């Protein structure tokens, strides 16, 4: 196992034990047990003569993480190993997922409602700051990656966090970020960013409901702890 970028890159799929391969893992444990890269690998089916399917999935996932919106077909086709057929398959899968989430009107009442929407980001090896836009009924409009890297006041500006929620006509937001270290205790920078965003939201008329710090096992809610 080696570290490459934001992900732990494992062996080529041919070298993995059958029970660790994404398709077999899905059959045995269900789709919810798969990481993002494993789900993309299942969608792709196979790699190319030059690129293993898991490496290709990593490359695609990096593009998705770095964009607040779904890349268009031209952007996807710039990735080595992704042609029109694979690009359209991926875009169709994302659009179908988007429609399902919207039609089910996911409502946020407690941090436990947020965690299933963000848990899949816990395997990133750098901090990813996420923003969840909510309408007046606290229903999810969109979940986006705002920034990648350390979450602090020098790097996270309110205009970046609130730009998309303003376009969404959101009434409230929840922000969240992963702690790759596994220590979910908020740092002084985490607390300072939360206060900064809360004040900015009050000016804009968009409430900050919570700031959640999470890993792949559990979460820490500043709202629950009375720190918001």
At 126-167, the pLDDT tens digits run 889 999 999 999 999 988 889 887 776 656 889 999 999 999
Could you tell me the two tokens for 16? 């993995």
Cβ atoms of 89 and 135 within 8 Å: the answer is no
Look at residue 25 and tell me whether its pLDDT is greater than 60. Answer: yes
Write the DSSP symbol of residue 107: B
How confident is the model at residue 224, as a pLDDT?
Answer: 95
Average pLDDT over residues 115-123: 88
Write out pLDDT tens, residues 38-72. 898 998 888 888 888 888 988 888 888 877 667 78
Which residues are paired to 174 by β-bridges? Answer: 132, 210
Give Dmax (Cα) for the chain.
55
Distance CA 13, CA 53 (A): 7
Topology given in CATH for the domain delimited by 111-221: Cytidine Deaminase; domain 2 (3.40.140)
Cβ atoms of 165 and 206 within 8 Å: the answer is yes
Task: Please give the residue that has the higher pLDDT: either 78 or 177.
Answer: 177
Average pLDDT over residues 174-188: 91
How confident is the model at residue 8, as a pLDDT?
Answer: 46
Q: Where are the domains of the chain?
A: 2-103, 111-221
Give me the chain's average pLDDT, please: 85
Phi, psi of 90 (to 5 degrees): -65, -45
How confident is the model at residue 176, as a pLDDT?
Answer: 95
The β-bridge relationship of strands 172-178 and 207-214 is: parallel
State the burial class of residue 109 (Cβ atoms within 10 Å of its Cβ: 0-12, 13-18, 19+): exposed
Which parts of 119-187 fold into alpha helices (H)? 158-168
31: region left, alpha or beta (phi > 0 left; psi from -120 to 50 alpha): alpha
Look at residue 99 and tell me whether its pLDDT is greater than 80. Answer: no
Could you tell me the two tokens for 150? 């350390």
Using DSSP, state whether 150 is helix, strand or coil.
Answer: coil
- Report in angstroms the alpha-carbon separations of 78 from 50, 59, 81, 156, 158: 16, 11, 9, 29, 32
Cβ atoms of 214 and 119 within 8 Å: the answer is yes
Distance CA 104, CA 93 (A): 17
How confident is the model at residue 133, as a pLDDT?
Answer: 95
How confident is the model at residue 1, as a pLDDT?
Answer: 39
């Amino acid at each position: 196992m080696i570290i490459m970028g934001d992900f732990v890159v494992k062996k080529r799929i041919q070298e993995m034990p059958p029970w660790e391969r994404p398709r077999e893992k899905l059959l045995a444990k269900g789709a919810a047990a798969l990481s993002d890269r494993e789900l993309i690998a299942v969608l792709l089916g196979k790699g190319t003569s030059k690129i293993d399917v898991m490496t290709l999935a990593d490359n695609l996932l990096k593009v998705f993480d770095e964009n607040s919106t779904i890349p268009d077909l031209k952007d996807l086709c710039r990735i080595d190993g992704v042609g029109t057929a694979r690009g359209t398959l991926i875009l169709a899968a994302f659009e179908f997922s988007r429609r399902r989430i919207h039609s089910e009107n996911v409502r946020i009442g407690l941090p436990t409602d947020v965690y299933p929407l963000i848990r899949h980001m816990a395997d990133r090896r750098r901090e990813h700051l996420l923003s969840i836009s909510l309408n007046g009924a606290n229903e999810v409009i969109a979940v986006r990656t705002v920034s990648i890297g350390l979450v602090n006041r020098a790097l996270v500006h309110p205009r970046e966090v609130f730009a998309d929620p303003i376009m969404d006509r959101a009434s409230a937001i929840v922000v969240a970020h992963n702690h790759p270290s596994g220590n979910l205790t908020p740092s002084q920078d985490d607390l300072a960013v939360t206060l900064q965003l809360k004040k900015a939201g009050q000016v804009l008329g968009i409430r900050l409901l919570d700031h959640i710090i999470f890993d792949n096992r559990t979460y820490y809610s500043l709202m629950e702890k009375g720190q918001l």
